[in-house]
């Protein structure tokens, strides 16, 4: 299988990992008692899928930083805008109303100020921050492509290492000082490290020794770190952060393992649907939680992955139907 075909496999794997991560978050934060076996299973699933968004970014970097591309800036922006902006507008509006409905069902109606904060925060719903981060990344992608083409391997490696280091230090500082995430148009800056690393790994320039061992160790350390730092009263999510001490290595290891795999299910029909799956799956997860179809008060070890599979399949079917409707492909 060629490297480009492996990127199709990486897409559906990352999309499923996102669904599993969000399914695990429910028992981890709302159902399972802290420290119980069910809580630890949810923690392990959450820790084991923290590579999902970085892999999405590395896929974009592998494709968009190709030095052989001579696409004019205007054409690049036109294509990316037609891909991202309709999705941002539609799903931001949809999830503002969906979130308002969820709050109302909980007996906590949103006032006008809360609507404005959510609409302007870059995070109308918990998963949509990724779209807003992509806007910044796409704005600078053509310039990064030209810089990448002009840089030597040593310069590229130094840039990736330096940005990763700054991002990790920033995350540590934020954890120690309880700072927020800042304005959403700056969120893309640390993700430049994953963006460039994706292209370097795709070209075979960047390699980790024993990526399987690194993946296993980083998952275990991530889960252990969350378990140790959390308490009955509060979940400490530092080790879940995209730029914690463990997640960057975990993410690079996963991407390398996918690229190195001799045989991996490609599921080519899923590749065009993964963006839509990312956008729509919270609806099915919310419905499953509200109806009690997914209420893992026990048996998290099997209920969480089963829920993720069902929600992933429902999302795929829904997106496939949605894309048959007028304008459906524009928002998925």
In eight-state DSSP terms, residue 33 is P
**C-alpha span between 264 and 141 (Å, rounded):** 29
Inter-helix orientation angle 37-48/3-26, to 10°? 150
Region 134-152 average pLDDT:
93
Question: What is the extent of the structural domain holding 190?
Answer: 3-322
pLDDT tens-digit profile of 9-65? 999 999 999 999 999 999 999 889 999 999 999 999 999 999 999 999 999 999 999
Token digits of residue 65: 């930083």
- In angstroms, the CA 285 to CA 216 distance is 28
Averaged pLDDT score across all residues of the chain: 92
| pLDDT tens for each residue of 258-310 | 999 988 877 888 989 999 999 999 999 999 999 999 998 889 999 999 999 99
Neighbours of 216 (CB within 10 A): 14
Whether residue 150 is contained in a domain is answered as yes
Nearest to 195 by CA among 33, 331, 64, 24: 64
Task: Please report whether residue 230 resides in a domain.
Answer: yes
DSSP letters, 245-268, are SSHHHHHHHHHHHHHH-SS----T
Domain contains 75: yes
Q: How far is the first Cα of the chain from the last one, in angstroms, to the nearest whole number?
A: 27
Over residues 189-237, the pLDDT tens digits come to: 999 999 999 999 999 999 999 999 999 999 999 999 999 999 999 999 9
SS3 11: helix
Angle between helices 73-105 and 274-291 (to 10 degrees): 0
- Rounded Cα–Cα distance for residues 122 and 43 (Å): 27
Residue 236 lies in a domain: yes
Asked if residues 304 and 46 have their Cβ atoms less than 8 Å apart, the reply is: no
Pick the closest to residue 238 from 184, 170, 171 (CA basis).
171
125 domain-assigned: yes
According to DSSP, residue 323 is labeled T
Does 276 fall in a domain?
yes
In a domain, 332, yes or no: no
Tokens matching residue 102: 């969820």
Q: Between helices 129-150 and 73-105, what is the axis angle to 10°?
A: 160
CA dist., res. 106 & res. 88, Å (int): 26
Assess if residue 47 is contained within a domain. yes
Query: What is the number of domains present in the chain?
Result: 1
**C-beta of residue 311 within 8 angstroms of C-beta of residue 285:** yes
């Amino acid at each position: 299988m060629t490297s480009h075909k492996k990127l199709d496999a990486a897409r559906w794997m990352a999309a499923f990992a996102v669904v599993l991560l969000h399914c695990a978050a429910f028992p981890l934060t709302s159902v399972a008692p802290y420290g119980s076996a069910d809580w630890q299973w949810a923690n392990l699933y959450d820790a084991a899928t923290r590579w999902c968004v970085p892999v999405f970014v590395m896929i974009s970097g592998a494709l968009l930083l190709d030095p052989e591309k001579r696409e004019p800036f205007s054409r690049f922006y036109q294509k990316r805008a037609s891909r991202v902006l309709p999705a941002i507008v539609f799903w931001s509006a949809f999830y503002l109303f969906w979130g308002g409905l969820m709050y109302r069902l909980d007996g906590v109606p949103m006032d006008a100020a809360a609507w404005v904060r959510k609409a302007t925060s870059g995070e109308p719903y918990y998963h949509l921050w990724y779209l807003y981060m992509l806007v910044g990344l796409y704005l600078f992608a053509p310039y990064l492509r030209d810089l990448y083409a002009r840089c030597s391997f040593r310069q590229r490696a130094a840039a990736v290492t330096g940005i990763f280091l700054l991002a990790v230090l920033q995350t540590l500082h934020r954890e120690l000082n309880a700072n927020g995430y800042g304005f959403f148009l700056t969120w893309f800056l640390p993700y430049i490290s994953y963006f460039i690393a994706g292209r370097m790994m795709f070209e075979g320039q960047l390699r980790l020794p024993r990526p399987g061992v690194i993946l296993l160790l980083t998952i275990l350390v991530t889960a252990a770190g969350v378990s140790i730092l959390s308490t009955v009263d509060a979940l400490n999510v530092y080790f879940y952060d995209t730029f914690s001490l463990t997640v960057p290595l975990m993410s690079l290891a996963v991407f390398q393992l996918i690229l190195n795999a001799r045989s991996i299910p490609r599921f080519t029909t899923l590749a065009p649907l993964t963006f839509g799956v990312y956008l729509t799956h919270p609806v099915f997860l919310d419905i499953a939680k509200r109806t009690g179809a997914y209420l893992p008060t026990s048996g998290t070890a099997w209920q969480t992955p089963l829920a993720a599979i069902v929600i992933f399949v429902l999302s795929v079917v829904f997106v496939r139907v949605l894309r048959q409707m007028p304008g459906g492909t524009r928002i998925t």
